[in-house]
A and B are shown apart, each in its own frame.
Chain A
Amino acid sequence: KAGVTQTPRYLIKTRGQQVTLSCSPISGHRSVSWYQQTPGQGLQFLFEYFSETQRNKGNFPGRFSGRQFSNSRSEMNVSTLELGDSALYLCASSASRGRDTGELFFGEGSRLTVL
């Protein structure tokens, strides 16, 4: 069974640009969540999608958005990039059907550098 796939793995953007990151979950998993990891702030929850609906949202500004498609693939978008958005963005999928309480399977992450 293929794992969680995130693309791209690395990218460099400049301030003011926007970026879209993609996540393909493990086949059969309907829950996808996103996290931002920085040295200063640690691992921060962005949002979680289940069956194309945003089920939970972290404390991030509206510049951060996401969506999930009918095949459970998910994308997150960051608009008007700031230097502080430089981070490792991690996606995780879960087989949990109801309220998420189960094991998360993570991708290798997308490392974003904003110049």
Chain B
Amino acid sequence: SQQGEEDPQALSIQEGENATMNCSYKTSINNLQWYRQNSGRGLVHLILIRSNEREKHSGRLRVTLDTSKKSSSLLITASRAADTASYFCRATNNAGNMLTFGGGTRLMVKP
């Protein structure tokens, strides 16, 4: 089964606005990772948050983790057209198996 499910499936915003996408998972995790994929290309790792962390920042990215709700959110502030991509979360559990991704959120940032 999937270890991460993103929500919403698609998001369209204007340049300069913030974009928030969510990820839910099903079991206890070791860490949760967010990736970006530009159309038809490989995924690029954005940020990793460990199960004992609640919030993490990297540039315009802010990730939160709520282990009680088994969910994480990715916030992209001051979005740019270049942020247009699909975003995936990946949760890894303590057994290290079932290396799966969710279905992704397709973000479109209009100039």
Evaluate whether A43 and B97 lie within 8 angstroms (CB atoms) in the complex, with A101-B31, A109-B42 already known: no
Question: Per-position contact with A for B16-38: 1 when CB-CB < 8 Å, else 0?
Answer: 00000000000000110101000
- Select one of B48, B94, B99 contacting A103, CB under 8 A: B48
User: Which residue of B has the minimal Cβ distance to A33?
Assistant: B99
User: Most chain-B CB neighbours within 10 Å: which of A55, A106, A111?
Assistant: A106
> Are the C-beta atoms of B97 and A106 separated by less than 8 Å?
no
- Give the chain A neighbours of B44 by CB distance below 8 A: 106
Find out whether the CB atom of A90 lies under 8 angstroms from the CB atom of B99.
no
- Which residue of chain A is the closest to B47 with respect to CB atoms? A103
A99 near B40: Cβ-Cβ < 8 Å:
no
Bin chain A's interface residue count: 20 to 34
In the complex, identify which listed stretch (B53-61, B64-72, B76-84, B100-108) lies at the interface while the others stay far away: B100-108
Given contacts A42-B103, A101-B92, 8 further A-B contacts (CB under 8 A): A56-B98, A90-B42, A92-B43, A100-B92, A101-B30, A103-B48, A104-B45, A111-B40
Q: Is the CB of B104 within 8 A of A42?
A: yes
Q: Mark A71-102, 1 if CB is under 8 A from B, else 0.
A: 00000000000000000101010000011111
Tell me, in angstroms, the Cα distance from A106 to B37 when the chains sit together.
10
Within 8 A of B (CB), among A11-68: 33, 35, 42-45, 48, 55-56, 58
Chain B facing A: main interface SS: loop
A33–B101 alpha-carbon span in the complex (Å):
12
A to B CB contacts below 8 Å, 18 in the list: A33-B99, A43-B101, A43-B103, A43-B104, A45-B99, A48-B99, A58-B100, A100-B99, A101-B30, A101-B31, A101-B96, A103-B45, A105-B45, A106-B42, A106-B44, A108-B41, A108-B42, A109-B40
Give chain A nearest CB distance to B4 CB in angstroms: 10
Q: Is the CB of A42 within 8 A of B40?
A: no
A45 and B100 form a contact (CB under 8 A):
yes
**A104 touching B96 by the CB < 8 A rule?**
no
Contact of B96 among A42, A98, A109 (CB under 8 A): A98
